[in-house]
Amino acid sequence: MDNLPPPVQLEILNRLNESADLARCRMASKTLNALSFEVRTLNIFCSFQRWYKSRAPETKSQMTPFKLIVEKLLLSSKNLESISIGVEKPWGDASDEVFTDDFSNRYEDDLYLSDVDFVSGWLPKIAGRLKSITIGDYWPQSSSRKSKILSLISSCCNHLVELDMGSACLSVEGLKPMLMLTNLTLEFVKLDDKDLNKVNECFPFLQVLNLIVVGGLREPKVNLLHLKTCKWYAFKDPFSLTINTPNLVELDLRCVKPRSLILKAPLLSTLHLSIEKASKVFEVEKFLSLKYLHIESSDLSNLIKLFPECKTVEDLELDSPKWVELGSVLRENVNFEKLMSAFPNVSCLVLRPGAWSELETCFLVGGLEARNGWKTLKQLVAHLVVYELETTRSFISSISEQCTSLSDMTMLVHRDIACNVRNHLIISCMGDCPRIRWRWGMWKEEEKDTWICDGMCSYNAAYQ
């Protein structure tokens, strides 16, 4: 490697994932040792092994404090543009007793990485060139402390483009506008900005916003003119959610049942919406160019009613966490006719197990009747829940008859269905609808889907 040109060597060092790899390169070559201080990217993680040794009585005194390692590495690097520091999560192999002890000793701060006193010791000295900062804190120590690190970062890092904060309690006190910032990720954090007013005010040019399980929100409103992509997982629901983003193109919104949901994003092209039940206040502005729509809800029927006209949707994916058994009392289950009416121009339809079971139950009660059929539908992918063989067969046959343009059907049968039942369904459907190009497979919860060769019981490569 010493024979390579220095720019190539430096590029290799910049691509290393962890500081431990960088340290090994320093020891292997004098040339690499000299170049290592010129890297633009530095990733420093406290591994599980280091974490465990720093807690074990027999090795604790031998370990160099992680914060000291971080500070030394950062201050010895001259041209940093991107830094990432964090603690590997000690679940799994970690002793429950040791991890519980860390929560009981939460007033220690050896791994409290969003500690302003710690960060202020090195950030102002390297901030000039920084474009990206990622800090993944250690929750047992950060959970009871509110950090003003956002204020420090906004004061020092005038050229920052990307900021990623995780597992921390964050204050917005003293936060200043960051006009260069375009990417913000907050993951498993508590934020004392209950309406997101400070986020809107101080990060006005965000193009990418990821809010992954952010606590402390009550009636958050995202009002960002330049936002293009948003991922918001609000599992501990605030009272209301408002997204007013006139240039938003892609949205992944997952929540439970907020009191109100207001979505004004007319330019959306991709929407993934997961919500347990339609909100009492549910306002969605008409979509002008929505192409892909994924809805997951136990209230599919009511949710679809509340959607505005969706004539532009071409790819539709539906799922429900509830599986409706055949013969059960029908409440408000979605049916095929409602789908045809709400999304008349869909060409590809994906039905996950819960959605399929709802549709099949409605078919059992009322059949499948549509005046014009679904003329645009060309592809159907379905995860079948076969409660009664002949009902499933009849439903599949009716779909193919009503959807005259349908040419490709991918049917995945639950793996626990008896082999002879599965094979009978395959042979019958292929005989009923010879014009269709069939693909058959099997599915099961938390397992990869697999193909079935020619309707038999042998398996091919995993279905992605």
Give residue-wise pLDDT tens across range 278-327.
877 888 888 999 999 999 998 888 888 888 778 999 999 999 886 655 54
Domain assignment present for residue 335? The answer is yes
Residue 286's CB is within 10 A of a number of other CB atoms, namely 12
Domain assignment present for residue 251? The answer is no
Q: 393: domain range? A: 303-323+331-453
**SS3 state of residue 44:** strand
Domain assignment present for residue 268? The answer is no
Of the candidates 137, 173, 175, 171, the residue with the CA atom closest to the CA atom of residue 156 = 175
Domain assignment present for residue 135? The answer is no
Residue 437's CB is within 10 A of a number of other CB atoms, namely 10
What is the rounded distance in angstroms from the CA atom of residue 307 to the CA atom of residue 300? 11
Of the candidates 293, 373, 318, 317, the residue with the CA atom closest to the CA atom of residue 341 = 373
Of the candidates 365, 223, 239, 377, the residue with the CA atom closest to the CA atom of residue 315 = 377
Q: What is the largest CA-CA distance in the chain?
A: 78
Domain assignment present for residue 355? The answer is yes
Task: Compute the C-alpha angle 364/365/366, nearest 5°.
Answer: 100
Domain assignment present for residue 315? The answer is yes
pLDDT tens for each residue of 23-43: 555 555 655 555 556 678 899
pLDDT tens for each residue of 320-348: 886 655 545 445 677 888 888 889 999 99
* CATH at residue 444: 3.80.10
**Phi and psi (nearest 5°) for 81?**
-115, -25
pLDDT tens for each residue of 200-243: 999 999 999 999 999 999 999 999 999 999 999 987 766 799 99
| pLDDT for the residue numbered 464 | 36
Domain assignment present for residue 434? The answer is yes
Task: State how many domains the chain has.
Answer: 2
pTM tops 0.85 = yes
| pLDDT for the residue numbered 92 | 46
What is the rounded distance in angstroms from the CA atom of residue 385 to the CA atom of residue 319? 13
Domain assignment present for residue 365? The answer is yes
Q: Quickly list DSSP for 55-100.
A: HSTTTGGGSPPHHHHHHHHHHT-SS-SEEEEEE----SSS-HHHHH
pLDDT tens for each residue of 221-232: 999 999 999 999
Task: Compute the C-alpha angle 424/429/431, nearest 5°.
Answer: 95
